[in-house]
Amino acid sequence: MMIHAKARPLISKLSIPSPIKKYFMHQDWEIDLSNNTNPYVGSLANYPDICQNHLKDIYISTILSLKPSPKTKPKITRDNVLFTVGSMEGLDLMIRTFAEPNTDVICLTSPTFSAYEHWALIHNLTVKHVPLLGENLNHLFIKAIVDINPKMIFLCDPNNPVGSKLDVSIIPQLCESIEGFVVVDEAYIEFSDHPSSLYYLKRYKNLIILRTFSKAWGMAGVRCGAILADKLVINALRYVQLPFGLSTQAQETVKESLLNPDKIFDSWARIKMNRDTLVSELSKLKAVKKIYKSETNFIMPIFNDFVAVLERLKAHKINVLNCSGTIENSLRVSIGNEQQNRKFLEAIKEASGE
Ligand SMILES: Cc1ncc(COP(=O)(O)O)c(C=O)c1O
C-alpha cells in the first residue's frame, strides 16, 4: 500500500497493521478461523467491517448531494474516505501520522477550537497562532502563515467559537501557498450558506477535510467522523488508526441515518431559521453589543453588561459557554429548540432592563 511521502519516517518503516492487511485482501472466505472469536454467538461476535464500502458509497453520494454546491462535482471515491471515532480522532490521527514530535510546527488561527492546540502539545509540537482578522474574524494574513512554514495548519471553517465562515478565497490561496497540509475542520458545514472545501479536494493534494456526525447529524453519542483526503494521505492514516474503532452498531446507525435523512434535513432548516430569529431579536437589546455572523448552529454575542447577563442566565439555570477568556464579554450559545431559545432571550431581555 503506497503511503504519502510526508508521513513521519517511522511510519513508512512499519508494516501495514495485520487486521487492515487481511481485510484489504478482499478474499471471499466461506469459513474464517483467523480471529479467535466465539462461533456460538450472533453477528456481533464478529469484528466490525473495516472496508465499510457500502457506508462510504452512501456517505459520498449524500455529502455531494448537499447544497450549496458548485455545478461540477468532484469524483470522490472510497479511497478518499476514512471513518473515524468522531472528528476528534481525525485531528489526532492527522497529528500523529504527519507531525514529528519535537520538530514540526503546527499553525492555528485564533480564536479557534481549543482541541487542536491540546493534541498538538501532547504530541510535543510547536504551536504558532495567526490571528483571524476583520469584522467577522473571517480573514487571514496568508503571508504570516507562509513565513511560519507549518507542517500543517488547522482551520475551523465555519469557526468554533465565533461561528463565521472564512472568506471563500482563503482556502485555495493557502493550499497554493504552503507545502504543509491545510486541514479544514468542517464540523458545522451543514449549517453554512457557502459550499464546502470538499470541492477543492481533487485540485489540492495538501487539503484534508474533517467531518463529524456529532453536530448537524445529531449522533454525538454514536462517535463517528470522517476524513476526506487524497488516497495517499488516507493510506498513511490507516497505519496509525486503531483498527475496529468504529463499532458495528455505530456503522449501522450512521448507515440508517444516511439512508433516511429527511427528518435531519428538516431540522437543519429549522435550526437555521431559529438562529436567524434569535440573532434578530437579540440585536434589538441594549445588553447586546455585537453578534458575529454565524454559519453554524451557535452564535457568539458580545455583551455590554456582561455581569448582569451572567447573573440572569445563572438565575434561570441556563448554561452557555463563557468565552470571555478568548473574546472579552462573549458567550457561545448553541441554538436550542424554540422554547429554550425563548427562555435564553427572556434572560437577556431582563439583563437589558426590558
Ligand atoms: C470544530 C469542532 N471540531 C471537532 C469537534 C469534535 O467533534 P466529534 O464529536 O466528532 O469528536 C467539535 C466538537 O465540539 C468541534 O466543535
pLDDT tens digits, 113-164: 999 999 999 999 999 999 999 999 999 999 999 999 999 999 999 999 999 9
C-alpha to C-alpha distance for 197 and 155, rounded to whole angstroms: 11
DSSP for residue 49: P
Q: Break the chain into its structural domains and give their ranges.
A: 9-102+177-260, 263-351
Residue 74 has pLDDT above 90, yes or no: no
Of all atoms in ligand 1, which is nearest to the CA of residue 91? Answer: 4
pLDDT bin (cut points 50, 70, 90) of residue 19 is: confident
Same fold, 9-102+177-260 and 263-351: no
The partner residues of 84 in beta bridges, in order of sequence, read 225
Ligand 1 pocket test target in 157, 214, 297 with most atoms within 8 Å of CB? 214
Question: What's the pLDDT band for 20 if we cut at 50, 70, 90?
Answer: confident
Residue 244 CB-density burial (10 A; 0-12 exposed, 13-18 middle, 19+ buried): middle
Closest residue by Cα to residue 62 from 219, 241, 198: 198
DSSP tally for the chain: helices H, then strands E? 12, 12
Asked whether the predicted pLDDT for residue 283 surpasses 70, the reply is: yes
CATH code for residues 9-102+177-260: 3.40.640.10
The set of cell numbers assigned to 23 is 481485510
Residue 34 burial class via C-beta count within 10 angstroms: exposed 0-12, middle 13-18, buried 19 and up: exposed
Query: Residue 71's pLDDT band (boundaries 50, 70, 90)?
Result: confident
291 lines ligand 1 (CB under 6 A): no
C-alpha triplet 298, 300, 305: angle, nearest 5°? 135
1 vs 76: which has the higher pLDDT: 76
Q: Is 97 in the pocket of ligand 1 (CB under 6 A)?
A: no
Q: Give the CATH number of domain 263-351.
A: 3.90.1150.10
- Among protein residues, the one with the nearest Cα to ligand 1's atom 8 is 86
Q: Is 220 in the pocket of ligand 1 (CB under 6 A)?
A: yes
